[in-house]
């Protein structure tokens, strides 16, 4: 049964844009071309209707899981039988090395154990004042803009989420202009997120990827910044004998393998700095961008959210922010994560054989769990292609199956930054809606594209207008 029967569905139907769905599975050439242009466009109509798909094609044997119980089996119950698949590693490892997102086995365990304390609810609470400062910083950044000004919301969200990282888990800064960092990361994701046919086919790395823009410049930029970040910290620790601090770098430098007592190697430290900058801001930025766009398409719901933030934040935005009372703001963000999951596909490779339901998985099979597909699946959701944040309101949200809604993944490899991202996003969204209203820029076609994150192709130009809290629309 689809989740979330919504009692009073809104009369106006808005279908957020998504690529047209081919009727049936694509042939090999069309598939490879689709992966190159936009992996989201390769999902056929059937993918959103069938509970399970198994096929053999250019990527070998692939199983696509759309049933909550099957998803739970791979991500939780039999997680030891699955590792990150080769295509994912081919795309991510050249830059992210063996950081937390891409490491496996004992290496992953040691890193996760070392970094988990940075993301406990208590530590996230301690980051909240900095998140509030960043929301205020953004408001001030926009203050001089004239009303009706066109703004690329996508770039602005990248910039502010990077600012949040700088003031929380990287308090000593990124040693480069954050605007340059955000641009370099966006260009880097744009390039590596374009799946080259040779990568999809599993050809060795030395075969030239014709047509693919190389990322040497961005990687050199990151390497220099990371060397400066680490170098400065090591120098200050040597000078002052400073105890490791409760920030990402302090924890990376202090991490010890409980068995061997050894610290993380230089490569692991560097890989994690880049991992956390990449995974920690582009994802949240994309979801905030989609939230603002989706709200602009349902003005009556937007008005309700504005009334909520005006009410809850009537004394101004200050820590502690009563995020629990911002239920409509949160429902909006969760619905944006459903329709445009920043991580559109999670993929794994089966280490040994497995049985999922009554289907056989062989060793070496690729298993795909796609939030993009699962979260718009007809068997799991009512009115799956519509923007209906009402389904995430208290009373409705509880009806959603845990494994039908997986924007942050699930199981031991669930996003380590989930609590951080949710807190940050709700504070930023509430503050933005309190001070501004965004409408789509005329003439711009909004099109989602998967480039590591699910982002709007060509950015998200919107028209910004200042709002005065509590003023009627
Ligand atoms: C809306 C924002 C975010 C979304 C939708 C998101 C999504 C995800 C997903 C789906 C995974 C699991 C990938 C898999 O199982 O293959 C993941 C892992 C990860 N995320 Fe996030 N993420 C977000 C924000 C963040 C933030 C703010 C940080 C750090 C500050 C972060 C750091 C990571 C890391 C390091 C991993 C790897 C964890 C591991 O494998 O142990 N993410 N994220």
How much is the pLDDT for 242? 60
Q: Which domains does the chain have, with CATH numbers?
A: 28-466 (1.10.630.10)
d(CA 196, CA 395): 44
Report the separation in Å between the CA atom of 415 and the middle of ligand 1, taken as the mean of its atom positions.
4
Residue nearest to atom 43 of ligand 1 (CA): 415
- Ligand 1 probe mutation, 248, 407, 413, 417, most atoms within 8 A of CB: 417
Report the separation in Å between the CA atom of 65 and the middle of ligand 1, taken as the mean of its atom positions.
20
Report the separation in Å between the CA atom of 421 and the middle of ligand 1, taken as the mean of its atom positions.
9
77's CB contacts (< 8 A; 6+ apart) are none
Q: What is the atom index within ligand 1 of the atom nearest the CA of 161?
A: 27
Mean per-residue pLDDT for 176-201?
A: 82
Least confident range from 72-86, 157-171, 242-256: namely: 242-256
- Ligand 1 probe mutation, 65, 92, 157, 279, most atoms within 8 A of CB: 279
Evaluate whether 123 touches 117 at the Cβ level (below 8 Å).
yes
The proportion of the chain whose per-residue pLDDT surpasses 90, expressed as a percent, equals: 63
Q: With 60 as the cut, is the pLDDT of residue 420 above it?
A: yes
Mean per-residue pLDDT for 120-128?
A: 93
Other Cβ atoms within 10 Å of 207 Cβ, number:
11
Residue nearest to atom 17 of ligand 1 (CA): 415
- How is residue 355 written in tokens? 């049985």
Mean per-residue pLDDT for 238-263?
A: 76
274's CB contacts (< 8 A; 6+ apart) are 95, 96, 97, 99, 222, 226
With bands split at pLDDT 50, 70 and 90, how would you rate the model's confidence at 188?
A: confident
Residue nearest to atom 18 of ligand 1 (CA): 415
Report the separation in Å between the CA atom of 413 and the middle of ligand 1, taken as the mean of its atom positions.
8
Q: What is the atom index within ligand 1 of the atom nearest the CA of 84?
A: 16
Q: With 70 as the cut, is the pLDDT of residue 4 above it?
A: no
Residue nearest to atom 7 of ligand 1 (CA): 408
Does 74 or 226 have the greater pLDDT score? 74
pLDDT in tens, 298-320: 999 999 999 999 999 999 999 99
Mean per-residue pLDDT for 11-26?
A: 86
pLDDT averaged over the chain? 90
Residue nearest to atom 14 of ligand 1 (CA): 346
How much is the pLDDT for 11? 61
Q: What is the atom index within ligand 1 of the atom nearest the CA of 272?
A: 35
Report the separation in Å between the CA atom of 92 and the middle of ligand 1, taken as the mean of its atom positions.
14
How much is the pLDDT for 14? 82
How much is the pLDDT for 7? 60
SS (H, E, C) the chain: CCECCCCCCCCCCCCCCCCCCCCCCCCHHHHHHHHHHCHHHHCCHHHHCCCEEEEEECCEEEEEECCHHHHHHHHHHCHHHEEECHHHHHHHHHHHCCCCCCCCHHHHHHHHHHHHHHHCHHHHHHHHHHHHHHHHHHHHHHCCCCCCEEEEHHHHHHHHHHHHHHHCCCCCCCCCCHHHHHHHHHHHHHHHCCCCHHHHHCCCCCCCCCCCCCCHHHHHHHHHHHHHHHHHHHHHHHHHCCCCCCCHHHHHHHCECCCCCCECCHHHHHHHHHHHHHHHHHHHHHHHHHHHHHHHCCHHHHHHHHHHHHHHCCCCCCCCCCHHHCHHHHHHHHHHHHHCCCCCCEEEEECCCEEECCEEECCCCEEEECHHHHCCCCCCECCCCCCCHHHHCCCCHHHCCCCCCCCCCCHHHCCCCHHHHHHHHHHHHHHHHHHEEEEECCCCCCCEEEECEEEECCCCEEEEEECCCCCCC
How much is the pLDDT for 9? 60
Mean per-residue pLDDT for 94-111?
A: 89
With bands split at pLDDT 50, 70 and 90, how would you rate the model's confidence at 456?
A: very high
Least confident range from 248-252, 285-289, 393-397: namely: 248-252
With bands split at pLDDT 50, 70 and 90, how would you rate the model's confidence at 216?
A: confident
Q: What is the atom index within ligand 1 of the atom nearest the CA of 412?
A: 41
With bands split at pLDDT 50, 70 and 90, how would you rate the model's confidence at 8?
A: low
How much is the pLDDT for 38? 94
How much is the pLDDT for 44? 95
- Ligand 1 probe mutation, 369, 415, 454, most atoms within 8 A of CB: 415
Measured from CB, residues less than 6 Å from any atom of ligand 1 are 100-101, 112, 275-276, 279-280, 283-284, 287, 342-343, 346, 407-409, 413, 415-417, 420-421
How much is the pLDDT for 300? 93
pLDDT in tens, 328-371: 999 999 999 999 999 999 999 999 999 998 899 999 999 999 99
Residue 306: half-sphere exposure toward Cβ, Cα within 13 Å? 23
Closest to 369 (Cα-Cα) out of 340, 399, 339, 406:
406
Residue nearest to atom 9 of ligand 1 (CA): 408
- How is residue 313 written in tokens? 């934040």
């Amino acid at each position: 049964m689809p989740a979330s029967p919504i009692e009073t569905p809104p009369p106006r139907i808005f279908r957020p844009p998504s690529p047209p769905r081919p009727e049936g599975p694509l042939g090999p050439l069309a598939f490879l071309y689709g992966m190159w242009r936009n992996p989201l466009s390769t999902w056929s109509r059937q993918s959103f209707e069938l509970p399970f798909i198994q096929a053999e094609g250019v990527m070998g044997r692939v199983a696509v899981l759309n049933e909550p119980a099957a998803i739970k089996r791979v991500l939780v119950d039999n997680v030891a039988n699955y590792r990150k698949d080769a295509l994912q590693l081919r795309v991510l490892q050249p830059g992210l090395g063996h950081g937390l997102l891409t490491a496996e086995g004992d290496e992953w365990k040691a890193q996760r154990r070392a970094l988990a304390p940075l993301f406990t609810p208590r530590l996230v609470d301690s980051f909240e004042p900095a998140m509030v400062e960043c929301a205020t910083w953004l408001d001030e950044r926009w203050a001089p803009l004239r009303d009706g000004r066109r703004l690329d919301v996508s770039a602005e969200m990248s910039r502010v989420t990077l600012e949040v990282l700088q003031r929380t888990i990287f308090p000593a800064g990124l040693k480069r202009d954050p605007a340059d960092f955000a641009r370099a990361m966006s260009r880097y994701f744009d390039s590596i997120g374009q799946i080259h046919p040779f990568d999809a086919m599993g050809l060795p790395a030395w075969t030239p990827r014709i047509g693919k823009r190389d990322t040497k410049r961005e990687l050199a930029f990151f390497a220099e910044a990371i060397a400066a970040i680490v170098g400065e910290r090591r120098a200050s620790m040597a000078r002052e004998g400073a105890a490791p601090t409760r920030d990402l770098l302090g924890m990376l430098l202090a991490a010890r393998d409980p068995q061997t007592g050894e610290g993380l190697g230089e490569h692991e430290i560097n890989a994690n700095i880049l991992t956390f900058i990449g995974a920690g801001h582009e994802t949240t930025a994309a979801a905030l961008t989609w939230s603002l766009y989706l709200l602009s398409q349902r003005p009556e719901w937007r008005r309700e959210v504005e009334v909520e933030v005006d009410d809850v934040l009537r004394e101004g935005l200050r820590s502690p922010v009563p995020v629990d009372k911002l239920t409509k703001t949160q429902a909006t963000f969760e619905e944006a994560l459903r329709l445009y999951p920043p991580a559109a596909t999670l993929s794994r490779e089966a280490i040994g054989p497995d049985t999922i339901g009554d289907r056989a998985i062989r060793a070496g099979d690729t298993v795909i769990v796609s939030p993009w597909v699962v979260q718009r699946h007809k068997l799991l959701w009512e009115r799956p292609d519509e923007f209906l944040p009402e389904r995430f309101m208290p009373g409705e949200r509880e009806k959603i199956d845990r494994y039908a809604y997986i924007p942050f993944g699930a199981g031991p490899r669930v996003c380590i930054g989930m609590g951080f991202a949710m807190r940050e996003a709700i504070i930023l969204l509430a503050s933005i809606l309190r001070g501004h209203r965004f409408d789509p820029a005329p003439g711009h076609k909004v099109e989602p594209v998967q480039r590591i994150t699910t982002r709007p192709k060509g950015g998200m130009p919107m028209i910004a207008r200042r709002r005065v809290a509590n003023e009627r629309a």
